Amino acid sequence: MEIKIGTPQILTILNVLSWIIFIGLCVEAGIYLFNGTYTMTINSYNARFLNLLDLYNFSPAYYIQEMIFMSIVAILKAIMFYLIVKMLHEKKLNIAQPFTLEMGRFIFYMAYLSFGIGLFSLWAAKFNNWLFTNGVKIPNLEALNLEGGSVWIFMSIILFVIGQIFKRGIEIQSEIDLTI
C-alpha cells in the first residue's frame, strides 16, 4: 500500500510547525524583554541570564543595547512567523492561482523582515566584536540567537527577486483576467 502525501497535507504540517515556531519565538522575545526590564529596574544580578553579567558590570547602557538587539531580532522573527501562520490559517495560498496581490505582498513582507533581521544581527555582531576587543566577556552570537546575519540578508535578496517575479506574474494574471 502506497501512502501519497499531497499539497494539502504538507500545508497542514507546515501550519502546525509554523504555530510551534511562532509560539516559541513569542516566548523568546518576551523573555528578552522581561529579563532586560527586570534587570534594569529590580535586580541587576539577573543580568547573569544568558551570561551577560560581565557586560552589565562593564556598562549598563551596553547591556541595554545588547538586550535591544536580541529583542528586535526575536520580535522580527516572531512577526515573520505570525505572517506565515496567518497566511496558512486563512488559506490565502491558492495553489491553482498563486499570483495574487496577497501572495505578492506576503513575499515582499518576508523580504523586508528578513532584511531587518539580517541588519540587526550584523549590527549586533559588530557591536559584540567591539565589546570583545574591549575585554568584555560576552557569549557567542549563537548563544544570544543573533547569528547568521549575512544569511538573513541573502534570504531577503532571494525573496525580493521572487517577489519581483510574482509581481510580474500578477501583472500577467490580471491581463489574462481582463482578456477573458
Q: Is the pTM of this model over 0.75?
A: yes
Q: With CA atoms as reference, report the closest residue to 34 among 67, 79, 58, 77.
A: 67
Tell me the three cell numbers of residue 9.
Answer: 497535507
Q: How confident is residue 1, by pLDDT bands cut at 50, 70 and 90? A: low
Task: Give the DSSP per-residue string, 89-108.
Answer: HTT---SSS---HHHHHHHH
Q: Over range 38-52, report the average pLDDT.
A: 83
| Interval 71-129: pLDDT, tens | 999 999 999 999 999 998 887 777 777 788 888 899 999 999 999 999 999 999 999 99
Instruction: Compute the distance between CA of residue 78 and CA of residue 81 in angstroms, rounded to an integer.
Output: 5
Q: Which spans in 42-92 are helix H? A: 53-58, 60-89
Q: Do 124 and 66 meet the contact criterion of CB atoms below 8 Å apart?
A: yes
Q: pLDDT per residue over 156-177, tens digit each? A: 999 999 999 988 988 888 787 7
Mean pLDDT, the chain, rounded, equals 90
Q: What is the dihedral of CA 102, 91, 93, 76, to 10 degrees?
A: 60
- Is residue 4 a contact partner of residue 67, using CB atoms and an 8 Å limit? no
Question: According to the model, what pLDDT value does residue 109 have?
Answer: 96
Cα angle, residue 54 at apex, residues 49 and 56 outer, rounded to 5°: 75
Tell me which amino acid residue 34 is. F
- Alpha carbons 120 and 29: distance in angstroms, whole number: 14
What is the C-alpha to C-alpha distance for residues 10 and 15, in angstroms, rounded to an integer? 9
